[in-house]
A = this chain, B = another copy of it.
Amino acid sequence: MKEASSKSPGRPRSAKAHQAMLRATLELLGEMGYGAMSIEAIAARAGVGKTTIYRRYSRKEELVADAIESIREEVLLPDAGSLWADLDAVIENAAQISLTPIGRQAVAMIISSAASNPGFAQIYWDKYLEPRRTAFARVIDRAKVRGEVDQALDPGLVFDTLSGIMLYALIFPPVGQSWQDYVRGALGLIFKASDECP
């Protein structure tokens, strides 16, 4: 049986150029921030024609999203033995992503474009949040099995609340304590309650 080798004609797109532009994007994102970063500068830094960028991405958001995507690590939340050990792992993981210069810029872009172009938030939801949301649900499930939290607790809602406070703490950094401790304190509002009742 013959394979349908439906390769498109013409010269294939250069993987080298693609890598170079993602790399340059990340560098400049860290150096000068999302808003101040021009396509022209990215092209120059990558040693690539502007056309080569515009051929792949029609908006700056798309390019940056792809660049960030390219360095995204796998979501790994192994069972640490207890609810709070698991939560600490989640918080630490988020901290390592959000507190780097590039992480802050990524958050800036996500929020900035999400607000002005509502449909665009979907990308970040699908690529970033949703996988984490699913992984977090397993953390809560394990806690339910251990009897650490109420069986009726909605894992998604907890994740959203956690994300919200993390986001807030990025914009208005807590004074007097670390970002992680602050988030942990807020998380205590939710889980202390469940702990104390019975």
Chain B residues near A173: list those with CB within 8 A: 118
Does A112 sit at the interface, judged by CB under 8 A? yes
Query: Is A161's CB under 8 angstroms from B158's CB?
Result: no
Query: Is A172's CB under 8 angstroms from B112's CB?
Result: no
Query: Is A186's CB under 8 angstroms from B163's CB?
Result: no
In the complex, A189→B166 CA distance in Å? 16
Closest residue on chain B to residue A163 by CB atoms: B168
How close is A87's CB to chain B, nearest CB, in angstroms? 14
Which one of B125, B171, B192 contacts A111 once the chains associate, using CB atoms below 8 Å? B171
Q: Interface residues of A: mostly helix, strand, loop or mixed?
A: helix
With A104-B115, A112-B112, A115-B112 known as contacts, the answer to whether A160 contacts B165 (CB < 8 A) is yes
Does A52 sit at the interface, judged by CB under 8 A? no
Chain B residues near A129: list those with CB within 8 A: 172
Chain B residues near A192: list those with CB within 8 A: 193
Does A116 sit at the interface, judged by CB under 8 A? yes
Chain B residues near A193: list those with CB within 8 A: 189-190, 192-194, 196-197
In the complex, A107→B114 CA distance in Å? 11
Closest residue on chain B to residue A160 by CB atoms: B168
Query: Is A189's CB under 8 angstroms from B157's CB?
Result: yes
How close is A29's CB to chain B, nearest CB, in angstroms? 11
How close is A6's CB to chain B, nearest CB, in angstroms? 20
6 interchain pairs, CB-CB under 8 A: A105-B116, A121-B172, A161-B161, A161-B165, A163-B168, A167-B171
**Residues of A near any B CB (own CB < 8 A):** 33-36, 104-105, 107-108, 110-112, 114-116, 118, 121, 125, 129, 153-154, 157-158, 160-161, 163-173, 185-186, 189-190, 192-194, 196-197
